[in-house]
Amino acid sequence: MKSALDLLKRVKGVIFDLDGVLVDTAVFHFQAWKRLAHELGFDFTEIENEQLKGVSRMASLEKILKWAGVDVSESEKIEMAERKNRWYLDLVQEMRADEVLPGSMELLHWLKQNDYRIALGSASKNAPLILEKTGMISFFDVLVDGNSVSLSKPHPEVFLKAARDLQLLPGSCLVFEDAQAGVDAARAAGMGVIGIGSNLNGTDLSINSLEKVLN
């Protein structure tokens, strides 16, 4: 059976998704969306929140408005999305280096020591801030986030751009992902992919956390 190290030996670059892989800011998103939903008179629960995993901010807002049965103008949608993001960023500002997910720092150190090229491939527009707050930003050679791509996963744009910016062929890159849309995007890009968590289809390997990579 293939191990994570076996897969790493075949590549020169590693591309990480952010949320659910290196850090867990999902709870911050949940709190901010719940606050907005409350203003709309809608009881937003973790059941609805699961359906927003890997979904862009505006697409998430559209879902919430539909669930709440609320119709607003485009300008109001933009204002709502910006308000939600301000609430989210207020929570992110309090993040510390000890809030990274288990195994993240150890793996990043190991990759650097072994001369791998490292990129971020995330839909988050707040990725640089999160990486800075958690002390991880110096490990990354390339950052590709929601500010630098126009097409969301499962489209492979984010990973193809990361490979290009790393100056590597897609087949020389391995992706770490926790969402099905991200796994599908990595596959569409022609890359190997290690899934974090269960119930993911199309991965080369699934593990519970980054702690399992080096052990």
* Interatomic CA distance for residues 115 and 164, integer angstroms: 18
Task: Please report the pLDDT score of residue 122 as a whole number.
Answer: 94
What's the Rg (C-alpha) of the chain?
Answer: 17
Cα separation, 162 vs 182, whole angstroms: 14
What is the C-alpha separation between 76 and 2, in angstroms, rounded?
A: 50
Active site residues: 17, 19
Give residue 37's pLDDT.
Answer: 95
Quote the pLDDT of residue 124. 86
Main-chain dihedrals φ then ψ at residue 196, nearest 5 degrees: -100, 110
Q: What is the pLDDT of residue 110?
A: 98
- Reported for 60-65, long-range contacts at CB under 8 A and 24+ positions apart, including other chains, are 60/33, 61/36, 64/33, 64/36, 64/37, 64/40, 65/40
Alpha helices in the chain (DSSP H): 4-9, 26-39, 46-50, 57-68, 74-92, 104-113, 127-133, 157-166, 180-188
Amino acid in position 206:
S
Give the model's pLDDT for residue 12: 98
- Which of the 8 DSSP states describes residue 98? G
Residue 56 tokens, joined: 């862009």
At residue 172, the pLDDT reads: 98
pLDDT of residue 52: 86
pTM above 0.75, yes or no: yes
Ranges of the chain whose pLDDT falls below 70: 1, 54
Q: What is the pLDDT of residue 44?
A: 93
